[in-house]
Chains A and B, each alone.
Chain A
Amino acid sequence: MKNVRKRHRLWLSAGGLALGAVVAAVFAATAVGRPSATPLKIAIMSDCQGAFAANYEQDIGGAITAFAQYAGVKPKNPNKPSAGWTGGSIGGHPLKLVGIGCSNDRADTAIKETKRLMEQLGADIMVGPLSGDESVAIANYAKAHPSKTFVNGTAGAWDTTAVVKAPNFFRFNGDGIQWNAGIGDLAVRKLHWKKAAIIMDDYSFGYASGAGMVADFCAAGGTITKRVFPPLNTTDYSSFVRQLPPPSQVDGYFSAVGGSGTPPMLKAFEQAYGKLKASQWIGNLFFFSSGADKVIGPELDGAYVGGFGSSPDLKGKNVTKYKKILDKWYKKYPPLAGKASDHAADGFTYNYYNNAWALVKALKVVKGNISDGGKKLQAALGKTSLPDAAYGAIRLDKNRQAIQPQYSYRMDVKTPGALAIKTVQYIPPVDQTFGGAIHSPPGRTYPPCAHKKLPWTGKEKPVVNGVIK
């Protein structure tokens, strides 16, 4: 008796579930709409949550600006890039922005968002993502979906292109290793460091960024005596700082600690070993990005800093043109202050812009035709280069990874403009493997300290007042 009632109830509940499923399915069908052969469905992927949420509009702005400038789309709202675009076409194929991904710098979320964009909203092409771990996961996704095409946003993990090697994932920006080319050489030549220690975040971007420093420093003749790796998002660095040798035992320290970690790490160091000296510290891009320059700039004024593939104070006609284009399409990238071109050299703008620009170029080559599952487009992308990129020509290597010139900076609190840094050095085009020196994923102990010259050793050029000498 009881069992009969139970079963009855079960079936009724099952019915309810099924009804829900049908309703939702109808909903799904209408939301997706019929795919049509003509429009080019494009998605942009960025982070609207997490550590880089403030760069969300900036990323989208950089990407859409390229579509506006080169493919005739119109931003819907010059004050809010995420409002999307209207119009635009390539080879008669209308350009449709089907969605903007909202991730949170975590691979797990990035995958879910990518699935939504590519599968639910039916995008053929994606521009993004923003951060390293996301890009590794998305490159893996790309590999499994050969008919979809991906160009990076500004993610800088080494593995994305060097390990995963998805044939349909293209990156027209440098990675964490490349960005630090030349910085170790400065330490040896200008600061006369012989022995140094490094502290770096214990995850892929920290390793990559640190690897660039270690490889460059050792190539110039320096020796790394200690590597310390605090976990990402550490708040109390005192125990890690104490693992560093004291200033009496080394000439200086490299830092590849994440944005929010840099100030507390330096503070902990000061408490352990006394006042910070600019001649004893070299940082990566996290010394100036995300507002860190305002916090540590006064204490470390004059310290050398690794780059971001761009140069905020560089002069030249490509730079001028690029800044004009930025200001033409957007007034600002909320919540960031200042006008669009104030953020021109910020990798978030620059890399999204270049990646989208390269994509448009390749789409024009194939006249917007991706009916072959993107095969021709992908072939065209592999051959695309950006000789007029604002901060130096960009071309791809065989893993579809950018080769581009790099810059080194010094902290300079008196510099006008958005960032308290000044460019001091130009490094001729740098590839992801440092000329073959780096052939495995960077890690806690990789690469080893090898005193072997790098392709650009001795070919760096000084930059004075924004001019390459």
Chain B
Amino acid sequence: MVLVVALLGPFLFSDFFTHTLLTQVFWYGIAAASLIFLFGYGGMVSLAQVSLYGIAGFVVGNAVTTGAAKGQHFGLDPWLGVVLAIVITTLIGLVLGALASRSFGIYFLMLTLTFAVLTNYFFGQVTVFGGFSGVSGIQLHTPGVIGNPNIHPNRLYYVALGTSVAVYLLIRYVVRTPFGVALQGIRDDPVRMSSLGYNVTLHRTLAFAFGAFISSLAGILFVWWNDHVDPASMDLSAVIDLLVIAVIGGLSRLEGAWLGAFVFVILNNYLRSVPGLGHVGISPERFHTAIGIVFLVIVLVSPSGLMGIWERLRNRVAGAGGSIGSAPPGEGPREPDSQPAAG
């Protein structure tokens, strides 16, 4: 049903709502899905997903723009830009994954955070790729079937929707393959998986690269939608935004990615126009505070986000129990048995 509504989106909603907000929900959702995939199925809290989609965005920007645009403006074929963005981002994911995959829990998080900060600085200060000002004018160089999103916004909308559905189905599929099931085993207990014969480091590295691949798709859609990418697209507040989206939606359910993105984008846009908010101290410059409060409330009410709330409501009505798929992931590896027997 949500798919039907989404398919009819352009006919049901205002142009702004469809093309600016919903398209944004789709690419945000894809980025959040990569985060939820890594966390929910791989036990890795990655703060690098935003940087990865930013990298993809910069690759597209540098590859396809022409003339006096900032950065390299190679003027390549837009499809080649897409391929380059995916390949380069995935390779970077592979390398970062190889570096980070020996770390767990908070250490893994810190490594990816460091990566996020570094890439932000890198693109801010290495001016050959556009520097602090970033790259603009990308919408003039989208593939022909998409065209300029300002003229044919519905095309980008459907491409983003289609990519979302494809990413959703792809992740659902992958987690049922040997690779995916083993990844969940590693999430639960990497040491155990190692003694079962698995190469935990390699497995996590590849999973991380897969997450980077998903992120790169979000990044490509992002620059087509935004026309522009600059280091601020991947700064710490963007990192936090994506984390908020994933947590609001619910980290243990893939659908939560898009639900969280939807709630976030809607709040971000409409919270400020709600009359009276100014009087309680939520002026335009503080709308982030408002989102922070919503975030806190959701997390306090339901640690598994809106999907968790939804599931509980549904269970109460249907009286059914049990949860699908993943239980809350463990907090990193346990050391081999060390305690003397309890007696």
The interface of chain A, by Cβ under 8 A from chain B, is: 2, 5-6, 9-18, 20-22, 24-25, 27-29, 31-32, 48-49, 53, 56, 100, 102, 104, 106-109, 111-112, 115-116, 119-121, 132-133, 136-137, 140-141, 144-145, 157, 159, 163-164, 202-204, 231-233, 440-441, 443-444
**Minimum C-beta distance from A240 to chain B (A):** 12
Q: Residue on B with the closest CB to A11?
A: B1
Contact A31 B270 (CB under 8 A): yes
Residues of A within 8 A of B229 (CB): 108
Among the 9-residue stretches B86-94, B123-131, B185-193, B201-209, the one with 4 or more Cβ atoms under 8 Å from chain A is B123-131
B1-33 vs A, Cβ < 8 Å mask (1 yes, 0 no): 111111000001111110111000000000000
B127-157 vs A, Cβ < 8 Å mask (1 yes, 0 no): 1000111101101000000001011000000
Question: Among the interface residues A2, A5, A13, A157, which one has the most CB atoms of the partner chain B within 10 A?
Answer: A13
**Minimum C-beta distance from A371 to chain B (A):** 19
Given A17-B258, A29-B13, 17 new contacts (CB under 8 A):
A13-B2, A13-B259, A14-B3, A14-B255, A17-B259, A18-B2, A21-B2, A21-B5, A28-B13, A28-B17, A107-B136, A111-B228, A145-B150, A202-B132, A203-B131, A203-B132, A204-B132
Pick the residue among A11, A133, A159 that contacts B68 (CB under 8 A).
Answer: A159
Q: A133-B134, A145-B150 are in contact. Are A32 and B127 (CB under 8 A)?
A: no
Contact A13 B284 (CB under 8 A): no
Pick the residue among A2, A15, A133, A231 that contacts B1 (CB under 8 A).
Answer: A15
**Minimum C-beta distance from A78 to chain B (A):** 18
Residues of A within 8 A of B148 (CB): 144
Pairs of residues from A and B, 9 with the lowest C-beta to C-beta distance, nearest first: A106-B232, A203-B132, A14-B2, A144-B150, A48-B285, A231-B125, A119-B16, A17-B2, A102-B284
Residues of A within 8 A of B285 (CB): 48-49, 53, 56, 102
Contact B310 A21 (CB under 8 A): no
How far, in whole Å, are A140 and B230 apart by their CA atoms in the complex?
14
Residues of A within 8 A of B226 (CB): 108, 111-112
Contact B227 A144 (CB under 8 A): yes
Residues of A within 8 A of B127 (CB): 202-203, 443-444
How far, in whole Å, are A163 and B125 apart by their CA atoms in the complex?
22
**Minimum C-beta distance from A36 to chain B (A):** 15
**Minimum C-beta distance from A29 to chain B (A):** 6
Contact A202 B125 (CB under 8 A): yes
Residues of B within 8 A of A203 (CB): 127, 131-133
Q: A20-B263, A21-B5 are in contact. Are A108 and B124 (CB under 8 A)?
A: no
How far, in whole Å, are A22 and B13 apart by their CA atoms in the complex?
9
Residues of A within 8 A of B118 (CB): none
Give the number of residues in B that approach A within 8 Å (Cβ atoms). Answer: 56
Question: Among the interface residues B136, B230, B259, B269, which one has the most CB atoms of the partner chain A within 10 A?
Answer: B136
Residues of B within 8 A of A120 (CB): 16, 20, 269
Contact A13 B307 (CB under 8 A): yes
**Minimum C-beta distance from A257 to chain B (A):** 14
Residues of B within 8 A of A133 (CB): 132-134, 230
Contact B139 A144 (CB under 8 A): yes
Which residues of chain B (248-288) have a CB below 8 Å from chain A?
253, 255, 258-259, 262-263, 266, 269-270, 273, 284-285
Residues of A within 8 A of B17 (CB): 24-25, 28
**Minimum C-beta distance from B56 to chain A (A):** 15
How far, in whole Å, are A441 and B68 apart by their CA atoms in the complex?
8
The interface of chain B, by Cβ under 8 A from chain A, is: 1-6, 12-17, 19-21, 68, 70, 121, 124-125, 127, 131-134, 136-137, 139, 148, 150-151, 226-230, 232-233, 253, 255, 258-259, 262-263, 266, 269-270, 273, 284-285, 307, 310-311, 314, 320, 324
Q: Residue on A with the closest CB to B9?
A: A21
Q: Residue on A with the closest CB to B6?
A: A21
Instruction: Provide a sorted-by-A list of 30 A–B residue pairs whose CB atoms are within 8 angstroms.
Output: A10-B255, A11-B1, A13-B259, A14-B3, A17-B2, A18-B4, A27-B266, A28-B17, A29-B14, A32-B14, A108-B134, A108-B228, A116-B269, A119-B15, A119-B19, A120-B269, A133-B133, A133-B230, A136-B70, A137-B134, A137-B228, A140-B137, A140-B227, A144-B150, A145-B150, A203-B133, A231-B121, A232-B124, A441-B68, A443-B127
Pick the residue among A16, A109, A159 that contacts B232 (CB under 8 A).
Answer: A109
Q: Residue on B with the closest CB to A144?
A: B150
Pick the residue among B133, B269, B273, B324 that contacts A6 (CB under 8 A).
Answer: B324
Residues of A within 8 A of B228 (CB): 107-108, 111, 137, 140
Contact B124 A231 (CB under 8 A): yes
How far, in whole Å, are A115 and B3 apart by their CA atoms in the complex?
26
A-B contact count (CB 8 A): 159
Residues of B within 8 A of A5 (CB): 320, 324
How far, in whole Å, are A5 and B325 apart by their CA atoms in the complex?
12
Contact A20 B262 (CB under 8 A): yes
How far, in whole Å, are A2 and B284 apart by their CA atoms in the complex?
47
How far, in whole Å, are A227 and B42 apart by their CA atoms in the complex?
49
How far, in whole Å, are A11 and B259 apart by their CA atoms in the complex?
14
Contact A9 B314 (CB under 8 A): yes
Q: Residue on B with the closest CB to A234?
A: B125
How far, in whole Å, are A106 and B234 apart by their CA atoms in the complex?
12
Residues of A within 8 A of B150 (CB): 144-145
Q: A6-B324, A9-B314, A231-B124 are in contact. Are A17 and B270 (CB under 8 A)?
A: no
Question: Among the interface residues B1, B148, B310, which one has the most CB atoms of the partner chain A within 10 A?
Answer: B1
How far, in whole Å, are A416 and B169 apart by their CA atoms in the complex?
69
Contact B136 A140 (CB under 8 A): yes
Residues of B within 8 A of A163 (CB): 68
Residues of A within 8 A of B121 (CB): 231
Q: Residue on B with the closest CB to A17?
A: B2
**Minimum C-beta distance from B305 to chain A (A):** 12
Q: A53-B285, A144-B150, A204-B133 are in contact. Are A107 and B230 (CB under 8 A)?
A: yes
Q: A11-B1, A102-B285, A115-B20 are in contact. Are A108 and B137 (CB under 8 A)?
A: no
How far, in whole Å, are A48 and B283 apart by their CA atoms in the complex?
10
Residues of A within 8 A of B259 (CB): 13, 16-17, 20
Contact B133 A25 (CB under 8 A): no
How far, in whole Å, are A164 and B136 apart by their CA atoms in the complex?
10
**Minimum C-beta distance from B228 to chain A (A):** 5
How far, in whole Å, are A25 and B11 apart by their CA atoms in the complex?
12
Residues of A within 8 A of B314 (CB): 9, 12
**Minimum C-beta distance from B289 to chain A (A):** 12
**Minimum C-beta distance from B98 to chain A (A):** 29
Q: Residue on A with the closest CB to B226?
A: A111
**Minimum C-beta distance from A231 to chain B (A):** 4
**Minimum C-beta distance from B235 to chain A (A):** 8
Residues of B within 8 A of A107 (CB): 133-134, 136, 228, 230, 232
How far, in whole Å, are A2 and B2 apart by their CA atoms in the complex?
22
Contact A18 B1 (CB under 8 A): yes
Residues of B within 8 A of A444 (CB): 127
Residues of A within 8 A of B253 (CB): 13
Contact A13 B227 (CB under 8 A): no
Q: A6-B324, A49-B285, A202-B125 are in contact. Are A32 and B136 (CB under 8 A)?
A: no
